[in-house]
Amino acid sequence: MSAPSSVTIVGASLAGLRAAETLRRDGFDGPVALIGDELHEPYDRPPLSKQVLAGNWAPDRIALTPSDKLADLDLDLRLGARATGFDLADRTLRLAGGETLEVDAVLIATGARCRTLGPPREGVHVLRSLDDCLALRADFDAAPDRVVVVGAGFIGAEVAATARTRGLDVAMVEALDAPLSRVLGPEMGEVCAAVHRDHGIDLRTGVGVEGFDGAGRVERVRLTDGSAIDASVVVVGIGVVPNTEWLEGSGLALDNGVVCDAAGLAAPGVAAAGDVARWPNRRFGYSMRVEHWDNAAAQGAHSARALLGADDPYEPVPWFWSDQYDRKIQLAGHVRPDDEVKVVTGSVAERRFAALYGRGGRLVGALGFNRPRHVMRYRAMIEQGAAFEEAVAAEV
């Protein structure tokens, strides 16, 4: 395959930026456009639920790359520009406002957006962007009587932990019987629940949200069991949906994400990366879409190389971390709630341990609470295709 005449990257967050950096590092010297719908230069999202929300970091600390290094990449950087359509056959990209760009190679990294509950209402937040974070932080600064977090997944858990650390009264509502039990399994879900309760969170599990009450601003969260919680601020963290609507009718296959091949190509000369990309991960033998920071960084680079002609499959062992209170929770691999789980080192009671996940005799995941070194060793074992029993017995 010959090198593209130009590369247009749609989405200016982590995956898009890493793609641009990789193109330049690998010697591509043609035009590269980086198009993002936010007005900010590419920034790092994980601190939005932690240091920035806590008020410990100013927003300018989260730039993904300093402005001078960004300039060195010699990009056509278009911020505040939302892509509204793409046509694979005639290679045109439409932007909000009506502009149409002729494009050659395209890398799609438009990420995902938060699911919401009902229409927008004052005092009800989601957390994805810097602007979301600053709006929520302003509400936290006003010393609300109670914060209600809807959804005890990783974002909800981090927001609850940050709010508690700021001394706020926090209730968290989770529809599952235990937080993250659909990801980590019921046993580890209970460990997460205990961590929150130990820190004074009013955690309600196995109950959903019926709706919000209040004259204008939110005042109360109504639950499906008939009870209600007074709330001055609500944060909804019930997952995300990939941003693919702008690609409907483009000629690309969409299925809860942009459907790619094993290398990351959605069509000749079109790749995707990050939260929006679905691809068959051969290491696990099925198709996945991964919403983690590390995947956005790695897949951004991999898919950029795919546009330059590399055809090696992208087959990572996914990995992410979540910082809650003084705990660093890390998960490597791809786990399912019915996988076999075994604690292999440390103490669950002390919340410092590693647990392994097995499926069909194979090691498929490793969960760590304050065990970063162990998780990375096990991640390498997953990569090597280790048997579950072998991993359980291993000294790491």
Partner 1 sequence: MRIVVDFDLCESNAVCMQIAPDIFEVRDDDFLYILNETPGEADRERVEECVQRCPKQAISIADD
| Using rule CB under 8 A, residue 381 touches partner 1 | no
Taking the complex as a whole, the smallest distance from the CB of residue 293 to partner 1 amounts, in Å, to 6
Question: Residue 37: what are its φ and ψ, rounded to 5°?
Answer: -85, -15
Least Å from the CB of residue 66 to partner 1: 10
Strand 277-281 relative to strand 286-288, pairing: antiparallel
Q: Which of residues 195-234 bind partner 1 (CB under 8 A)?
A: none
Identify the residue whose tokens are 């709330």. Answer: 231
What DSSP character marks residue 47? G
Q: Which is nearer to partner 1, 279 or 319 (CB)?
A: 319
Size of the site for partner 1 (CB under 8 A): 23
Residue for token pair 């149409």: 100
Interface pick for partner 1 out of 40, 182, 222, 328 (rule CB under 8 A): 328
Closer to partner 1 by Cβ: residue 20 or 201: 20
| Residue 346 in the binding site for partner 1 (CB under 8 A) | no
Site for partner 1 in 261-290 (CB under 8 A): none
Asked if 370 interacts with partner 1 (CB under 8 A), we say: yes
Q: Which one, 233 or 298, has the nearer CB to partner 1? A: 298
Among 5, 25, 30, 102, binds partner 1 (CB under 8 A): 25
Window 63-102: residues binding partner 1 (CB under 8 A): 64
Query: Which residues partner with 221 through β-bridges?
Result: 212, 229
Site string for partner 1, 40-69 (x = CB under 8 A): ----x-x-----------------x-----
Contact between 122 and 217 (Cβ < 8 Å): yes
Could you say whether residue 310 binds partner 1 (CB under 8 A)? no
Based on CB atoms, which residue is closest to partner 1, 62 or 148?
Answer: 62
The first and second tokens of residue 65, run together, are 């790359």
CA distance 285 to 269: 25
Among 9, 16, 18, 264, binds partner 1 (CB under 8 A): 18
User: Tokens 């999202």 correspond to what residue?
Assistant: 45
Amino acid letter, 248: E
**With binding defined as CB under 8 A, does residue 321 bind partner 1?**
yes
In angstroms, the CA 80 to CA 173 distance is 35
Residue 297 as a binder of partner 1 (CB under 8 A): the answer is yes
Contact present, 266 and 108 (Cβ < 8 Å): yes
Shortest spacing between CB 376 and partner 1, in angstroms? 4
Three-class secondary structure of residue 300 per DSSP: helix
Q: If binding is defined by CB under 8 A, does position 158 make contact with partner 1? A: no
Tokens of 148: 């209600």
Smallest distance, partner 1 to C-beta of residue 42, A: 12
Edge-to-edge strand list for the sheet holding 83-87: 83-87, 92-95, 100-102
Beta bridge partners of 355: 343, 367
Q: What is the dihedral of CA 41, 94, 306, 104, to 10 degrees?
A: -120
Residues that bind partner 1 (CB under 8 A): 18, 21, 25, 44, 46, 64, 293-294, 297-298, 301, 319, 321, 323, 328, 330, 370, 372-373, 375-376, 379-380
